Amino acid sequence: MTIILLTNRFPFINGEPFLIEEIKLASKNEYKIILFPMDTNNSALMFDYSKYPNINLHKMNNSYSRKIIRLKHISQLIKIWTNEIFFLCKANKLSYVTLRRSISVLLESERIRCHVEDLCQDITDNIVLYSYWGAISSLAIALIKNENIYKLTRVHRVDLYEYWHFNDYLPYKQYIYNRLNSIISISEDGFNYIKKRYPYAKEKIFISRLGTDDYGLNPEEKKQKIVVVSCSNIIEVKRVPLICKALCDITDIPIHWVHFGDGNQMENVKSIINQSKQKNLSIELKGYTLKKEIFDWYANNHVDIFINASLSEGIPVSIMEAYSFGIPAIATDVGGTSEIVNNTNGWLINKETAHVEIINAIRQYYTLCNNDIRDKRFQARNTWEEKFSSQINYKKFYEKLEINVKKMQNK
């Protein structure tokens, strides 16, 4: 079996770092894996695939112009686009923006489809087309008519929830869900969302959670300063400035805050820090950091609390990573976050009142006795062991994939 895995940028820097654990486990199986990133402008690798003999990299070829559509595909593309326009009209979503997007997404997907079809011609065994995101790459594989190829997509957050996009519009979702063999949601929340909005696809939807490796436990330490960590891109949806402001507003508890990640709101964070006069708060902004370096830091530096203040999530991998180390989290109740964080293993807070609730949770933690703190840490680790171990989750995922491919071939 050959799996062609379509990603945004992985295995390159700024790609999908949470794919590393899955690919490592998948490489232990007998089938071949071809990594097919959509964007290869950044030549630096975050994952050295060359160490694995059954993993290869296939780069997009610039000769596949966005302006060229294969003649044999024209009637199919016109029909698909026409149906999408009817859908937009019926849903009262037709506008210049959605019209333009429907065209650009279809043309880009066609370009990728042509490339994937050519790649498949040289493969003689069973083929699986696996889109890691339910966006352009998933439409590209949905366009392929070969019914002997098994096609699936994962869905996370930005590629799943329409309400996060202009005019509540994600292009060609009905067509994608109709054409693919499987739709893999990383959360129960996503599973229920698809089942409710696209009931005709309910037999194709499965939950397969992401997972992280076991790097051991975070060292315990007697409480002097509360060490708080956050780890995300510093972009609007992650609300890192809100975390910063909440910590700056705690004036009577010694806190050390460490943030891993960078982004376009970094200057906002620095501005809040510069305006704050709090002597009880020390801050380290680590910027973009490789996963291995973050895990090494967790393994050698005590952390009391992890914070995630996102407006929207699938299930945050950063919290899975923290929980694997036994670090409890404060997190907003959005998307599938409640499937990992609760008030036993952390603090699940309202996104609308996150500023106040972050402060209250830290104050509560500061008053806990050592036994209660150990219990929080134990419960965090226990949640990871039961639900988010990469070794368990990805093993189940690939076992189910093999069964489904065999079923299709036997029809």
pLDDT digits (tens, 9 = 90+) for 107-123: 999 999 999 999 999 89
pLDDT above 70 covers what percent of the chain? Answer: 97
Task: For residue 167, give every residue at least 6 positions away whose Cβ sits within 8 Å of its Cβ, in sequence order, or none.
Answer: 93, 95, 97, 98
- Between the CA atoms of 35, 39, 44 and 49, what dihedral angle is there, to the nearest 10 degrees? 0
| 51 confidence band (pLDDT: 50, 70, 90) | very high
Write down the mean pLDDT value for the chain. Answer: 93
Nearest to 336 by CA among 196, 157, 189: 189
Q: Give the integer Cα–Cα distance in Å for 1 and 29.
A: 10
- Domains delineated in the chain: 2-211+390-409 (3.40.50.2000), 226-387 (3.40.50.2000)
Q: Give the integer Cα–Cα distance in Å for 268 and 265.
A: 5
Whether the CA torsion 340, 344, 347, 352 is positive or negative: it is positive
**Mean per-residue pLDDT for 229-242?**
96
| 260 confidence band (pLDDT: 50, 70, 90) | very high
Which pLDDT value is given to residue 65? 52
| 372 confidence band (pLDDT: 50, 70, 90) | very high
User: pTM for the whole thing?
Assistant: 0.91
Which pLDDT value is given to residue 15? 86
Distances (CA, A) of 77 to 179, 183, 276: 14, 22, 56
| 72 confidence band (pLDDT: 50, 70, 90) | confident
CA 269-273-276 angle, 5° bins: 140
Structure tokens at 55: 């993993």
Q: Give the integer Cα–Cα distance in Å for 404 and 399.
A: 9
According to DSSP, the β-strands at 329-332 and 305-308 are parallel
CA 126-132-135 angle, 5° bins: 115
In the block, residue with structure tokens 């199986």? 29
- Helix, strand, coil content of the chain in percent (nearest 5): 45, 15, 35
Residue 223: pLDDT over 90: no
| 62 confidence band (pLDDT: 50, 70, 90) | low
Q: Report which of residues 62 and 285 the model is more confident about.
A: 285
Q: Give the integer Cα–Cα distance in Å for 260 and 307.
A: 12
Backbone torsions φ then ψ of 382, nearest 5 degrees: -65, -40
The answer to whether the beta carbons of residues 391 and 26 sit under 8 Å apart is no
**Mean per-residue pLDDT for 29-38?**
93
Residue 269: pLDDT over 80: yes
Residue 305: pLDDT over 80: yes
Structure tokens at 182: 């499987």
| 42 confidence band (pLDDT: 50, 70, 90) | low
Structure tokens at 28: 């232990």
**Mean per-residue pLDDT for 16-30?**
92
Which pLDDT value is given to residue 57? 94
| 73 confidence band (pLDDT: 50, 70, 90) | confident
